[in-house]
């Protein structure tokens, strides 16, 4: 039996990263862009928990959705839940400028991934520890070209999707989800 899950997102990059991991198992994924407003909160877990309930109400099929953020230590966790807004306004150049005289470049990407069906509602957290690079390197999307995960020397922007998934917040959250899902629904 093949399981089918609807990923609620308008972000093609997130879809590609999630699909490649799920497709190794009998889990089919379909992308749906729904216009559901996100609540304002400093906690991405809270944002996604509210979002997944509303998404399930609309779709009435197993759904997943995720919210991610970049948390820079020296900037007290900024931009965190405002990452999307900061990307649109400052972009990679703006963040590099903001960090120009800062020696401690530690940052974390965090992903809160929520799943809901008629029986279960769960949130999985994936974290990628790393640092902000000194310059823009590679392509990728969002802050990919300025984030170097701690176990690598390349930015996410210099990696292909599979390599990025090995280190990324999203890859880690999805793998936790897959582990739970396969155990719960006993699939190979
Ligand atoms: P959201 O989860 O769609 O709210 O994403 C917030 C923002 O974080 C995005 O607009 C991107 O700028 C950034 N972001 C989240 N995940 C990633 C990633 O894997 N690579 C690069 N940027 C990311």
The 10s digit of each residue's pLDDT in 14-54 is 999 999 999 998 899 999 999 999 999 989 999 999 999 99
Mean pLDDT for 141-154 is: 97
The 10s digit of each residue's pLDDT in 56-110 is 999 999 999 999 999 999 999 999 989 999 999 999 999 999 999 999 999 999 9
Mean pLDDT for 160-177 is: 98
- List the domain range (segments joined by +) for residue 60: 3-184
pLDDT the model gives residue 9? 97
Alpha-carbon span 68 to 170, nearest angstrom: 8
CA end-to-end distance (rounded Å), the chain: 10
pLDDT the model gives residue 136? 97
At residue 116, does pLDDT exceed 90?
Answer: yes
At residue 163, does pLDDT exceed 90?
Answer: yes
Mean pLDDT for 116-133 is: 98
- Of all protein residues, the one whose alpha carbon is nearest to atom 15 of ligand 1 is 68
40 against 113, higher pLDDT: 113
Count CB-CB contacts under 10 A for residue 13.
15
Strands (E), 33-156: 63-72, 78-80, 106-116, 121-132, 147-149
Q: How far is the CA of 73 from the centre of ligand 1 (A)?
A: 17
At residue 161, does pLDDT exceed 90?
Answer: yes
Residue 144 is among the residues annotated as catalytic for this protein = no
Angle at 60 between CA 3 and CA 82, to 5 degrees: 95
Q: How far is the CA of 24 from the centre of ligand 1 (A)?
A: 24
pLDDT the model gives residue 104? 98
Count CB-CB contacts under 10 A for residue 143.
23
pLDDT the model gives residue 186? 87
- pLDDT bin (cut points 50, 70, 90) of residue 124 is very high
Select from 18, 70, 89 the residue to mutate for testing ligand 1; criterion: most ligand atoms less than 8 Å from CB: 70
- Which residues are CB-neighbours of 106 under 8 A, at least 6 positions away? 72, 73, 74, 129, 130, 131
Alpha helices in the chain (DSSP H): 12-22, 44-59, 83-89, 91-98, 161-167, 169-185
Ligand 1, pocket residues at CB < 6 Å: 11, 67-70, 83-84, 87, 141-144, 156, 168, 170
pLDDT the model gives residue 62? 98
Domains contained in the chain, number: 1
Task: Please pick, among 67, 101, 117, 144, the residue that the annotation labels catalytic.
Answer: 67
pLDDT the model gives residue 29? 96
- What CATH number does residue 34 fall under? 3.90.950.10
């Amino acid at each position: 039996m093949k399981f089918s899950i609807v990923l609620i997102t308008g972000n093609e990059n997130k879809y590609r990263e999630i699909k490649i991991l799920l497709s190794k198992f009998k889990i089919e994924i379909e992308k749906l862009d729904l216009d559901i407003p996100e609540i304002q909160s400093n906690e991405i877990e809270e944002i996604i928990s509210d979002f997944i309930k509303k998404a399930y109400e609309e779709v009435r099929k197993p759904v997943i959705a995720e919210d991610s953020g970049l948390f820079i230590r020296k900037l007290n966790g900024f931009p965190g839940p405002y990452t999307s807004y900061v990307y649109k306004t400052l972009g990679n150049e703006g963040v590099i400028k903001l960090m120009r005289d800062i020696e401690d470049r530690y940052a974390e990407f965090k992903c809160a991934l929520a799943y809901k069906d008629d029986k279960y509602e769960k949130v999985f957290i994936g974290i990628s520890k790393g640092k902000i690079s000194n310059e823009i390197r590679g392509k990728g999307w969002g802050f990919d070209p300025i984030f170097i995960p701690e176990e690598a020397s390349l930015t996410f922007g210099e990696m292909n999707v599979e390599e990025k998934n090995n280190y990324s917040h999203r890859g880690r959250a999805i793998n936790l989800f897959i582990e739970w899902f396969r155990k719960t629904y006993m699939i190979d």
